[in-house]
Amino acid sequence: MSMNPSMSHAVATESSPLGAVRQLWSDYMTLAKIRLTGLVMATAAVGFVLGSGDRIAWPAMFYMLIGTLLASAAASAFNQVAEIQRDARMPRTRNRPLPAGRVGSLHAIVYGIVCTGLGLTIQAAAVNLLSAAMTALTIFVYVAVYTPLKSRSTVNTLVGAVVGALPPMMGYVAAAGSLGPGAWVLGAVLFIWQVPHFLALAWLYRRDYELGGYRMLPSVDPSGAITGRMIVVWSIALVPMGLVGLQVGVTGYVFAFGAIALGAWLVWLGITVHRKRTDGSARRMFLATLAYLPLLMGLMVFDRIPLWLMG
């Protein structure tokens, strides 16, 4: 039986050394959850900007971001090692490197250990020890607390929100050398934002989570009433955060009023989710939370421009 020339070329490419390297690189990016890691790096960068005063130490920011990249990759790899069997049950995750068998557990563990060691060493040597300690804490909470809790309690969403709040605080510490009001405001915003964000996502993938054995709120709330209510409540909690930032002196009026407007937008969409309880309304809420965060962080950075110009 003859093989189609284009198919023959594809098979040869996949089985070639270069094809194997490309596949391994792709698998490493998946182990690192590179899109999530990019978001983590962005929030850490905003934290660094807020903690920098009138001048940004660009070399320190660069090393902080490299350390954050490696630490986030490590935490994601350890998480996937722990969840191989559950990921294999879910259509959304069954083709990841570990459940698909392209990467072994030991390989992924070594990958995680190397990334952890390099990330923490860079943070400690080129940034500061407190930044390194907060990075280590983030890895620990994500792997040792959040990951096992996902299959045991719906409280996992709040613990996951703590994990997401730590990187911007770490970025602030990397610049300022200590935890100041800006770190706590930014951490609070990230903590609160993650709840409606992940509840909307969990609603969309509730059947997947049920197959995987994860206890997400929408999976144990068939009517969606509690989920919708929680989305509204946590969205409302975001609205005054702009005024909090203004009150403690870490942001200006641009951020304050922008945050109120963006928060009101999420509240409106959250109320729609609560009323309709449909995939469409949850998807709009999820996409809105994705837009909310970069817009809000952009306002934070924009508010710092006059300070840099005066400096």
Question: pLDDT for 196-207, tens place per residue?
Answer: 999 999 999 999
Of 212, 302, 192, 203, nearest to 255 (Cα)? 302
Query: DSSP 3-state assignment of 33?
Result: coil
Distance CA(33)–CA(104), nearest Å, equals 17
CATH homologous superfamily of 20-178 equals UbiA prenyltransferase (1.10.357.140)
Which CATH number, 1.20.58, 2.40.30, 1.10.10, 1.20.120, labels domain 180-311?
1.20.120
The amino acid that residue 121 corresponds to is T
Task: Report CA torsion sign: 134, 140, 141, 142.
Answer: positive
Query: DSSP 3-state assignment of 250?
Result: coil
- The first and second tokens of residue 170, run together, are 């770490």
> Tens of pLDDT along 244-267?
988 888 888 888 999 999 999 999
The amino acid that residue 266 corresponds to is L
Per-residue confidence (pLDDT) for residue 304, from 0 to 100? 74
Per-residue confidence (pLDDT) for residue 18, from 0 to 100? 86
Task: Report CA torsion sign: 76, 78, 81, 87.
Answer: negative
Query: DSSP 3-state assignment of 66?
Result: helix
- The first and second tokens of residue 79, run together, are 């998480």
The conformation of residue 1, written as its DSSP 8-state character, comes to -
DSSP symbols for 234-247:
HHHHHTTHHHHHHH
Cα distances (angstroms) measured from residue 167 to each of 132, 144, 295: 11, 17, 18
User: Phi-psi bin for 221: left (phi > 0), alpha (psi -120 to 50), beta?
Assistant: beta
All structural domains of the chain with their residue ranges: 20-178, 180-311
CB 73 within 8 A of CB 32: yes
How much is the pTM? 0.89
Of 170, 169, 201, nearest to 185 (Cα)? 169
Of 201, 121, 128, nearest to 161 (Cα)? 201
Distance CA(193)–CA(268), nearest Å, equals 15
CB 73 within 8 A of CB 30: no
Cβ contacts of 117 within 8 Å, gap of 6 or more: none
Of 75, 64, 63, 62, nearest to 34 (Cα)? 75
Of 145, 150, 164, nearest to 85 (Cα)? 150
Averaged over successive runs of 10 residues, the pLDDT of the chain (311 residues) comes to 42 66 94 96 95 90 98 98 95 94 97 98 98 98 97 96 97 94 93 98 94 92 95 97 88 90 97 97 98 93 67 51
